[in-house]
Structure 1
């Protein structure tokens, strides 16, 4: 039976992760424990430190690949745990990680440091993401603290807002629209942030009046739900959407679609288009219609469909040049 205290000495310890490349891929890490393992790598190389298992939360089954992977710690992460083998001290178990305010960058020559020297991050640009905390800052992410926001993805998103997108000109007029920018204005400790090593971000912001849900890919693709329920989705690469069954879309307001490039629509079945108002189609180039069978154009509506055909309906054609009607032999 594990004893928390034996002969007046605690089995609990505090240390720094130095190796995360577990050859068995069990999520184990090598930890140099303060007061037990020498700070000198000459005395105890990193490769001689025992592998430590990581306790996972109860939401993870930790069985048959079900649950969450026990990964996420970095070289340089401070952790706390205990030895399940008591005084032998060869089977460390990690209970969790501990943040703080790093005072200096890693000393790669000494133990209790990241051997690669990458963490803690010492200056902007040393990280592939955008907005990680640096030396002399709290390890808590800037988005959670609402600090140095001009050095985070918030500024990057605001600078990249899609502006003055032109609408189609027609009976309802033209005009343009602009992407709604992020409503970020978090208050600590209400914004719950997950930030990955390469800069992927997830936010669950419970700041009163500024509640948001946000998922951000390091390339700039994101989806954000604003406090009023508005959703903004931006994709900086290609977008593929495949549905194996039906797709129903109901827009209770207006719909504007602007395509800067070409557009192709291919329907292998029938197509029905209906409008209860006017239909205005503007073409600034050539307009070609190819039909293998019959073309019917009816003004006033077909008899019996919406009542009798209107007697004052009109079919107007106003070309700037000729009208050619040719019957093929």
Structure 2
């Protein structure tokens, strides 16, 4: 490293397709590179190496992957070869408040013209969810698409239960939000009285833990769970299951069901009970009602 002069820079990422897949990017640096892409094409910019935090090992795949900034991101770094300025290293991104679309023909802009996003111009780069804004966010879509389920209430009747609404009430600066390019989201919300943990997939599947410790899981596609060994579930309250389609249960060993009070079974169609061995019915008082009754 050249220690004669420590050279800082700030600039804009114009290329992140690192052929070595090391997280390197090409940065057009203020005061070092012209904005004229005819004189200095993006392809002629040197590759800049990322610095990761000490919480990441950054060796043989251990630690965090050094990816995150997109083309159009403003960054800060230094040249480890000093005034020669051919070996850039970058270690931070710079947030701002974009006021105009990218000009892909000029330097210091996203060459794809994607960033900054047009519908977020004149807003801080801070995520809307972190700022307590819900307009055109997943909070709106979640509140508009609450699920309803019908559960038995005895005697063949049913009652309706509605999916709990998200308790989102974030206040800046207590909600830490991560959002990916396609819309995957993680929230760690420390807003007093509205503390939440939230993971959201862009398709609409999410898990949200509410301030009181309640959890809502919503899966918009299929769900597949595998337990290789034992599975133990203790539910101290009531269990409600609503299945719109069929239900199939296969048990390879014995099945034991113990109910301390009553069992109420109601089928609008037939009930078939088949035993390859003996079938025992025992009760203090057994009643059979039907017309006709056929015992074979």
Structure showing the higher strand proportion among its residues? 2
Residue 139 of structure 2 corresponds to residue 143 of structure 1 = no
Match of 2:16 among 20, 23, 44: 20
Q: Quick one: distance in 2 between partners of 1:284 and 1:169? A: 16
Report how far residue 179 of structure 1 moved.
0.8
Q: How many residues align?
A: 296
1:324 aligns with 2:294: yes
- Give, in whole Å, the separation in 2 of the partners of 1:286 and 1:255: 25
1:213 to 197, 203, 207: 197
Partner residue in 1 for 2:57: 61
Q: Residue 250 of structure 2: which of 256, 263, 266 is its match? A: 266
> In 1, are the aligned partners of 2:155 and 2:266 still within 8 Å (CA)?
no
Q: 2:115 corresponds to which residue?
A: 119
Select the residue among 273, 287, 292 that pairs with 1:289: 273
Q: Structure 1 residue 275 and structure 2 residue 245: aligned?
A: no
Regions of 4+ moved over 3 Å: 171-174
Distance in structure 2 (CA, Å) of the matches to 1:136 and 1:270: 65
Asked whether the 8 Å contact 2:78–2:89 carries over to 1, the reply is yes
Matches of 2:181 and 2:2, distance apart in 1: 35
User: What are the superposed Cα offsets for residues 186-225 of structure 1, whole Å, 9 maximum, x if unpaired?
Assistant: 1100000000000000000000001000000000000000
Counterparts of 1:270 and 1:178 in 2: how far apart (Å)?
Answer: 35
Aligned ranges 1:1-329 → 2 under 5 Å: 1-3=1-3, 6=5, 11-123=7-119, 134-147=120-133, 149-163=134-148, 165-170=149-154, 174-299=158-283, 313-319=284-290, 321-326=291-296
Q: Is the 8 A contact 2:156 2:266 kept in 1?
A: no
Structure 2 unaligned runs (5+)? none
Task: Output the CA distance in 1 between the equivalents of 2:156 and 2:150.
Answer: 13
Shift of 1:173: 6.2
* SS at 2:154 equivalent: coil
Q: Larger radius of gyration, structure 1 or 2?
A: 1
Once residues 99 and 266 of structure 2 are traced to their aligned partners in structure 1, the CA distance between those partners, rounded to angstroms, is 65
For residues 16 and 182 of structure 1, the distance between their equivalents in structure 2, rounded to whole angstroms, comes to 37
| TM-score normalised by structure 1 residue count | 0.88
RMSD: 1.3
Q: Deviations over 1:15-58 (max 9, x none)?
A: 00000100000000000001110100001000000000011011
Aligned-pair CA distance for 1:172: 10
What does the per-residue CA deviation read over 1:218-237, in whole Å, with 9 as the maximum and x for residues that have no partner? 00000000011110000000
- Tell me the CA shift for residue 175 of structure 1: 1.7
Query: Shift in Å at residue 169 of structure 1?
Result: 3.8
Pair 1:205–1:252, CA change in 2 (3 A) = same
Q: Which runs of 5+ in 1 are unaligned?
A: 124-133, 300-312
Give TM-score scaled by structure 2 length.
0.97
> Structure 2 CA distance, aligned partners of 1:227 and 1:325?
58
